[in-house]
């Protein structure tokens, strides 16, 4: 029989790590809670024109979304603490015994950060093409003959749809006069 004095600090740390591993979904709850608080704080501090018409103004949707995030976070935390576990999909073919592919993750992160830095000076069509090409390369495509062409086409179509059809202005960069 084990008494309270027989438990070593190493066993306590191991038990804590085991409990956290079994309740890892609480991390998602914390993320949803933080997002909900952020959305609600931003919505409630939003400046609104007094001349708005009707009961539904620009604060309505962010408040509903923020409250929904808080509700989902609370319900998920309650479910996890009651023993609920997320079930893996039947079609998942992930081998959890294999280590993470950090090279791919770091390449993708570098490509995204590079696109974020280059979008202003080069414009979306060029930065987007580099983003799509870099993502394809990071994920394993090595077709040098077609990948840049597909990336450029995808970037131009995306730019055209957002800039011309949806009215969302994207920086054109040096190609502004051409496009």
* Mean pLDDT computed over every residue of the chain: 84
**Structurally, how many domains does the chain consist of?**
2
Alpha helices in 2-81 (DSSP H): 9-22, 26-44, 60-81
Residue written as tokens 């450029």?
A: 152
What's the pLDDT score for residue 26? 86
Asked if residue 136 is part of any domain, the answer here is yes
Tens of pLDDT, residue by residue over 72-127, are: 999 999 998 888 776 666 656 677 677 878 899 999 999 999 999 999 999 999 99
What's the pLDDT score for residue 92? 62
Taking the C-alpha atoms of residue 83 and residue 77, their distance in angstroms, rounded to an integer, is 10
What's the pLDDT score for residue 139? 92
Asked if residue 90 is part of any domain, the answer here is no
Residues 62 and 110 in one domain: no
Select from 164, 131, 162, 125 the least CA-distant residue to 147. Answer: 131
For the ranges 30-39, 90-99, 147-156, the lowest mean pLDDT is seen at 90-99
Residues 106 and 166 in one domain: yes
Residues 171 and 106 in one domain: yes
Handedness of CA 126, 130, 136, 141 (dihedral sign): positive
Check pLDDT > 80 for residue 179.
no
Select from 141, 139, 140, 80 the least CA-distant residue to 109. Answer: 139
Give the torsion through C-alpha atoms of 162, 34, 38, 71, to 10 deg.
Answer: 90
Taking the C-alpha atoms of residue 74 and residue 33, their distance in angstroms, rounded to an integer, is 8
- Take residue 16 and report the two structure tokens written for it: 């804590």
For the ranges 39-48, 68-77, 110-119, 127-136, the lowest mean pLDDT is seen at 39-48
Asked if residue 122 is part of any domain, the answer here is yes
What's the pLDDT score for residue 12? 57
Taking the C-alpha atoms of residue 41 and residue 172, their distance in angstroms, rounded to an integer, is 33
pTM score of the predicted model: 0.54
Across residues 123-134, what is the average pLDDT?
Answer: 94
Asked if residue 92 is part of any domain, the answer here is no
Asked if residue 75 is part of any domain, the answer here is yes
Task: Tell me the residue length of the chain.
Answer: 179
Number of Cβ within a 10 Å radius of residue 111: 20
Taking the C-alpha atoms of residue 104 and residue 140, their distance in angstroms, rounded to an integer, is 9
Cα of 144 vs its chain's centroid, Å:
29
Question: What domain range includes position 156?
Answer: 102-175
Yes or no: say if 172 and 179 are a contact pair by the CB < 8 Å rule: yes
């Amino acid at each position: 029989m084990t008494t309270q004095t027989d438990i070593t600090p190493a066993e306590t740390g191991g038990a804590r790590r085991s409990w956290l591993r079994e309740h890892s979904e609480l991390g998602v709850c914390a993320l949803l809670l933080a997002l909900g608080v952020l959305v609600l704080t931003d919505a409630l501090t939003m400046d609104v024109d007094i001349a708005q018409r009707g009961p539904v103004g620009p604060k309505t949707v962010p408040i509903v979304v923020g409250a929904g995030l808080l509700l989902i976070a609370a319900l998920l935390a309650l479910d996890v603490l009651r023993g609920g576990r997320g079930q893996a999909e039947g079609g998942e073919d992930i081998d959890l015994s294999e280590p993470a592919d950090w090279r791919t993750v770091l390449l993708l992160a570098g490509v995204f950060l590079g696109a974020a830095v280059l979008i202003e000076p080069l414009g979306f069509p060029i930065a987007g093409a580099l983003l799509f090409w870099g993502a394809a390369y990071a994920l394993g495509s090595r077709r040098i003959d077609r990948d840049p062409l597909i990336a450029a086409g995808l970037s131009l179509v995306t730019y055209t749809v957002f800039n011309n059809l949806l009215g969302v202005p994207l920086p054109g960069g040096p190609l502004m006069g051409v496009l």
